[in-house]
């Protein structure tokens, strides 16, 4: 069975993929459909959805177009989610690989370091980091990456630990392959599927973290984001609940879609190799 056929067997994953593609399209089409800055005041404030043509989600407290904000926000959410995950992988994979492969004192030291980061409440750490570095896309990406790499390191370490005594790895040592070759060619390729699955879930978590940061007013002041939209509308929730409702729904759908896709990837990537033995 092909990879996609296995993936598509999970109906939820297929739905997730469709939602995700729609959101990616939203992000890509934002500058085409709403070329103006989403920060610009374009109508009178507090327009309800559908009240005025062209403003199908209404306007916010400052008369900005909510639909434009939503579409531009999609871009920011996906970007920050993706980039911070890549950065977290770049920290976690090498750390976990080295700790798991060499074991011993190196492992001890690296794992203490990882545990330290895991003990610190990660949202609080992200808040402190962004607050002190000053909010910007870069500081947000860094803060999210810094709080999300420990699970990667632990996963990769666990995989390496179980694989390094696998007989084919010992055979590779015995025929004289170098540690570098063994790590990169023998072990790493066999840990990729759980890493890919974890990464898709991390993008989702990163999007949640980003939205929570901007909700608290720690978003990049130059880019429109969903979390900011909810935070800004919070004080007027009694008058205009929809201002908070739609951006929240967008976050929910994006995160849901990524989780569904992650589960589908898990189904498609992992079971066969494991079950082959029986």
The residues binding other proteins (CB under 8 A) are: 116, 118-125, 127-129, 131-134, 166-178, 181, 186, 189-190, 204, 208, 211-212, 215-218, 227, 230-231, 234, 237-238, 241, 244-245, 248, 251-252, 255-256, 259-260, 273, 276-277
| In the complex, minimum distance from the CB of residue 40 to other proteins, in angstroms, rounded to a whole number | 25
Give the residue with the Cβ less far from other proteins, 22 or 256.
Answer: 256
- Closest residue by Cα to residue 81 from 263, 185, 183, 226: 226
Q: Tokens in use for 57?
A: 């989600």
Dist CA 4 CA 167 (whole Å): 31
| In the complex, minimum distance from the CB of residue 35 to other proteins, in angstroms, rounded to a whole number | 29
| In the complex, minimum distance from the CB of residue 31 to other proteins, in angstroms, rounded to a whole number | 25
| In the complex, minimum distance from the CB of residue 262 to other proteins, in angstroms, rounded to a whole number | 11
Buried/exposed 7-27: b ≥16 CB within 10 Å, e otherwise: bbebeebbebbebbeebeebb
- 3-state class (DSSP) for residue 64: strand
Q: Tokens in use for 240?
A: 């205009």
| In the complex, minimum distance from the CB of residue 78 to other proteins, in angstroms, rounded to a whole number | 15
| In the complex, minimum distance from the CB of residue 244 to other proteins, in angstroms, rounded to a whole number | 5
Give the residue with the Cβ less far from other proteins, 42 or 245.
Answer: 245
Q: Tokens in use for 273?
A: 């190799």
- Please, what is the end-to-end C-alpha distance for the chain in angstroms? 19
Give the residue with the Cβ less far from other proteins, 36 or 115.
Answer: 115
Residues 6+ away with beta carbon under 8 Å from 74: 23, 24, 26, 27, 30, 226, 250, 254
Contact criterion met (CB below 8 Å) for 36 and 42: yes
Give the residue with the Cβ less far from other proteins, 32 or 175.
Answer: 175
| In the complex, minimum distance from the CB of residue 154 to other proteins, in angstroms, rounded to a whole number | 10
Give the residue with the Cβ less far from other proteins, 38 or 227.
Answer: 227
Residues 6+ away with beta carbon under 8 Å from 12: 260, 263, 264
Give the residue with the Cβ less far from other proteins, 34 or 266.
Answer: 266
Give the residue with the Cβ less far from other proteins, 72 or 107.
Answer: 107
Residues 6+ away with beta carbon under 8 Å from 151: 92, 198, 202
């Amino acid at each position: 069975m092909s990879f996609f056929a296995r993936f598509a067997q999970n109906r939820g994953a297929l739905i997730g993929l469709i939602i995700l593609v729609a959101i990616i399209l939203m992000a890509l089409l934002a500058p085409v459909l709403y070329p103006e800055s989403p920060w610009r005041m374009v109508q009178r404030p507090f327009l309800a959805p559908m009240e005025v043509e062209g403003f199908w989600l209404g306007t916010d407290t400052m008369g900005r177009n909510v639909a434009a904000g939503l579409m531009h926000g999609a871009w920011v959410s996906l970007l920050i989610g993706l980039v911070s995950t890549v950065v977290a992988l770049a920290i976690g994979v090498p750390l976990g690989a080295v700790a798991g492969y060499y074991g011993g004192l190196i492992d001890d030291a690296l794992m203490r370091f990882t545990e330290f980061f895991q003990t610190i409440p990660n949202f609080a750490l992200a808040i402190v980091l962004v607050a002190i570095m000053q909010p910007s896309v870069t500081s947000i990406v860094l803060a999210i990456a810094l709080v999300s790499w420990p699970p990667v390191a632990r996963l990769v370490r666990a995989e390496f630990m179980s694989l390094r005594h696998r007989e084919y790895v010992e055979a590779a040592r015995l025929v004289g392959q170098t540690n570098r070759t063994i790590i990169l060619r023998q072990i790493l390729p066999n840990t990729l599927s759980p890493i890919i699955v974890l990464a898709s879930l991390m993008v989702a978590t990163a999007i949640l973290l980003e939205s929570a940061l901007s909700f608290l007013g720690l978003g990049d002041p130059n880019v429109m984001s969903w979390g900011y939209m909810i935070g800004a509308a919070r004080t007027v929730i009694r008058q205009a609940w929809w201002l908070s409702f739609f951006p929240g729904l967008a976050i929910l759908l994006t995160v849901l879609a990524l989780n569904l896709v992650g589960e589908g990837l898990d189904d498609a990537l992992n079971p066969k190799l494991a079950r082959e033995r029986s």
